[in-house]
Chains A and B, each alone.
Chain A
């Protein structure tokens, strides 16, 4: 789903030239109904991730082998799974793994990608060419497949997934930052800095970086959406958080075999949880983009 990156550089350019003050921009973002809706969804899942064990009505790991595959009822609002575990509790506690992994992976990608992008855009040269080619090659593969390839090779664990996704994101983010830097480098303040004899490192990280931060912020939220998509998919394929730890993708994988028997609640509720988280992130991303682009 790297597909929409085609439009990203243009958006980044628009972002950079936004003339408004920072606080005014934030007020505009906070006032958008789509932002409020998205932020509420995100806040809900963050609370679940932080205090899941306290909120959950049952122990998400407790098996009741006499109450397996029970349909939703008063005792179990979302029913029980094939081991008799409370689905609602697993959905609530399952927010934790994905909400730890995806922001960290995105952060790694944004930090490395921004540094690379600054160097590519400002210094150009060999780094620019090499990273540009690598981006093309990485873009030729679906994100899920590149991630799968590396995670299989390195063995599935949370740190591996975080680092792999971060490293795949880095060149893609670098490309967006690069085009934002190219716009900046034609502006007067940079020629002044250069005439003052500032070192390239100072110009890149002290002069340019603050001006491309809005583009970086948009890039973070967009990539966070892709990260959630990818991590959930890896989990579903069996290369994410390992059972019995509650995890939405892994729980779906464990239970979709009995879908044909009519036990839909064991897979549908974690599926809806993933869908709501992804939509929440996208509502937030969309409102930030809309305001910064206008």
Chain B
């Protein structure tokens, strides 16, 4: 168990390192120099050179990478080209906002997805199963801004039930914030529902066909008791893993949803950083997403190891 955890952690560190290289060098293949990108085509060459020197981008690539990664290890994520101030306050503020939106989406989609998956599994091959599976698959593959627009048109513009913008303004009450977040959460729920329902369905079907489920039925337990006590516990295990995996994709969706609804989260931050060619901000934002995702996956692995006695005792782990 300990060896497994250490191995898992070691691999996560290596993956993070590779990720940092991909992110850093993607930011450095930009044709032209950052000083020119920030100051524009009309700035004097001497001003561009001075800014390049101030930003430290006139040093060799490897030196820049080493100082960037050294800064990261000390909690210094770099200085924004646009704002000329450290990027951390922007990242952490945006992360809090995104977490609110993401949490709302998860609170809605996890019970809904599991319920949908279990209902589909109990009706395998019949109408409810086909409807849930096909709806889930279609909703999962339609880009968030597409479903977002359909939702805005119906509930924001036609019915006027919810505000179209996600920002409730400074000092708004929690309830008002929630009201503003409902519409943006819907496209995220759409995208995630299909995956969670599919996993819950597969897990439930497997549990239903198992020997222990048959034994429980044969010894005279009521169907509802069998489902609650024997089926659900086992079917939900793989679902936990898939929920953590979806965290990363949830954040990917945030870029689009936050842009569509103009919500000040990490997605909108990345979008603006990309538009301004503010590479330190962009790199810090993207790397943050990678770290959040890896931590989520790690927690999921730990949870499923802890919950599954076969893995806990070191059988197949």
State the Cβ distance, B201 to closest chain A Cβ, in Å: 12
Q: Are A148 and B146 in contact (CB under 8 A)?
A: no
A83 within 8 A of B: no
B275/A282 in contact, CB under 8 A: no
Q: Indicate if the CB atoms of A141 and B248 lie closer than 8 Å.
A: yes
Separation in Å of the A248 CB from the closest CB of chain B? 9
Are A141 and B195 in contact, with the CB atoms below 8 A? no
Residue of B nearest to A232 (CB): B143
Q: How large is the interface on A (under 10, 10 to 19, 20 to 34, 35 or more residues)?
A: 35 or more
Given the interface contacts A145-B289, A237-B271, A256-B149, does A275 sit within 8 Å of B256 by beta carbon? no
Total interface residues in chain B, CB < 8 Å: 59
Would A236 and B143 count as touching, CB distance under 8 A?
yes
Alpha-carbon distance A228/B19, docked complex (angstroms): 25
Indicate if the CB atoms of A133 and B142 lie closer than 8 Å. Answer: no
B293 CB contact (under 8 Å) in A4, A141, A149, A154: A141
* B50-75 CB contacts (< 8 Å) to partner A: none
Q: Are A278's CB and B142's CB within 8 A?
A: yes
Interface of A is mostly: helix
Asked whether B294 lies within 8 Å of A140 as measured between CB atoms, the reply is yes
Tell yes or no: B304 within 8 A of A by CB. Answer: no
Which residue from A133, A142, A148 sits with its C-beta under 8 Å from B274?
A148
DSSP majority for the B interface? Answer: helix
Indicate if the CB atoms of A274 and B277 lie closer than 8 Å.
no
Closest to A248 in B: B146
Within 8 A of A (CB), among B1-57: 11, 14-16, 18-19, 22-23, 26-31
B282 proximal to A (CB < 8 A): yes
Decide if B142 touches A149 in the complex (CB within 8 Å). Answer: no
Contact between chains at B274 and A239 (CB < 8 Å)? yes
Q: Looking at the complex, which one of A3, A259, A260, A275 makes contact with B195 (CB distance below 8 Å)? A: A3
Least CB separation from B277: chain A residue: A152
Q: Please name all residues of chain B whose beta carbon is closer than 8 Å to the beta carbon of A264 when the two chains form the complex.
A: 153, 157-158
Q: Are B249 and A2 in contact (CB under 8 A)?
A: yes
Q: Is the CB of A3 within 8 A of B293?
A: no
A143 interface hit (Cβ, 8 Å) = yes
B15 A140 Cβ-Cβ under 8 A:
yes
Digitize A1-24: 1 where CB-to-B-CB distance is under 8 Å, 0 elsewhere.
Answer: 111101000000000000000000
Q: For window 135-155 of chain A, which residues contact chain B by CB distance below 8 Å? A: 136-146, 148-150, 152-155
Instruction: With both chains docked as a complex, state the minimum distance between the C-beta of B115 and any C-beta of chain A, in angstroms.
Output: 20
Bound Cα distance from A280 to B241, whole angstroms: 29
Bound complex: CA A212 to CA B73 (Å): 44
Question: Do residues A149 and B15 form an inter-chain contact, with CB atoms below 8 A?
Answer: no
**Contact (Cβ within 8 A) B26 A275:** no
Contact of B282 with A149 in the complex, beta carbons under 8 Å: yes
B235 near A: Cβ within 8 Å? no
A138 to B28, CA, bound (A): 18
Closest residue of chain A to B15 (Cβ to Cβ) is A136
- The proximity string for A residues 139-178 relative to B, scoring 1 for CB distances below 8 Å and 0 otherwise, is 1111111101110111100000000000000000000000
B266-306 Cβ-contact flags toward A at 8 Å (1 or 0)? 00001100110101001000100110011001000000000
Residues of B within 8 A of A274 (CB): 142-143, 146
Q: Which one of B133-141, B171-179, B209-217 is at the A interface? A: B133-141
B236 touches A (CB below 8 Å): no
Query: Is A286 interfacial (CB-CB < 8 Å)?
Result: yes
CA A155 to CA B31, docked complex, whole Å = 9
Name B249's contact: one of A142, A233, A256 (CB within 8 Å): A142
CB distance from B169 to the nearest CB of A (A): 16
Does A56 count as interface, using CB distance less than 8 angstroms?
no
Nearest opposing residue in chain A for B241, CB measure? A6
Q: Could you give 28 example pairs across A and B, Cβ below 8 Å? A: A3-B195, A134-B18, A137-B290, A140-B248, A140-B290, A140-B294, A142-B255, A143-B252, A145-B251, A145-B270, A152-B274, A152-B282, A153-B279, A155-B31, A229-B142, A237-B256, A238-B275, A259-B152, A260-B156, A260-B157, A260-B164, A264-B153, A264-B157, A264-B158, A268-B149, A271-B149, A274-B146, A278-B142
Residues of B at the A interface (CB closer than 8 Å) are: 11, 14-16, 18-19, 22-23, 26-31, 137-138, 140-147, 149-150, 152-153, 156-158, 164, 191, 195, 242, 245-246, 248-249, 251-253, 255-256, 259-260, 270-271, 274-275, 277, 279, 282, 286, 289-290, 293-294, 297
